[in-house]
A = this chain, B = another copy of it.
């Protein structure tokens, strides 16, 4: 029996996400991805054109942020941190994106779009200076993802979920809703 085109394409996509997440853009080779998907490098090219487009397809990502305006104000920060943790864990995509973004301009562009536009849109309506607040939240949540899932810094990686929420929740909360500390 032979696989359908869509089946192989999906297998390639999954393998690509795993490789990009584990190795970054340049160390993830088409040959390795093809081998993981039990297929031939040439088929990868036929399905996705070239390595850049394969990455673009594998790293398609949306934060799927909840509507923050319907939440009780005091739970904002914790809810958001919890959401980020789940987004990191349920998928290899964010890890692939971050590992690649550090050396690949296309990946960096996508990160900018995600952590600037998407976050700023969600932050709008809570307080003024939505973009600045989105940037602050990005700095803390990306730092968490970097330390916990990419660099695997002992204390951060081993921290129980509840501890992360208890410490970072208030930080994100403040970034989103507190008054500008420089005003006045």
Highest count of chain B CB atoms <10 Å: which of A134, A142, A155: A155
Name the CB-closest residue of B to A150: B102
Pick from B99, B112, B140: contact of A143, CB below 8 A. Answer: B140
Interface contact A144-B147, CB-CB below 8 Å: no
Interface contact B108-A132, CB-CB below 8 Å: no
Interface contact B162-A135, CB-CB below 8 Å: no
A102-B150, A116-B155 as given contacts; A171 in contact with B140, CB under 8 Å:
yes
Q: How many Å from the CB of A24 to the closest CB on chain B? A: 4
Which of chain A's residues 123-165 have a Cβ closer than 8 Å to chain B? 131-132, 134-136, 138-144, 146-148, 150-156, 159, 162-163
Interface contact A156-B135, CB-CB below 8 Å: yes
Q: How many Å from the CB of A99 to the closest CB on chain B? A: 5
Interface string of A159-177 (1 = CB under 8 A from B): 1001100111011001100
Complex formed: what's the CA distance from A140 to B139 in Å? 7
In the complex, whether A1 has a CB less than 8 A from a CB of chain B is no
In the complex, whether A27 has a CB less than 8 A from a CB of chain B is yes
Which residues of A pack against B, CB within 8 Å?
Answer: 23-24, 26-27, 98-99, 101-103, 108, 111-112, 115-116, 120, 131-132, 134-136, 138-144, 146-148, 150-156, 159, 162-163, 166-168, 170-171, 174-175, 181-182
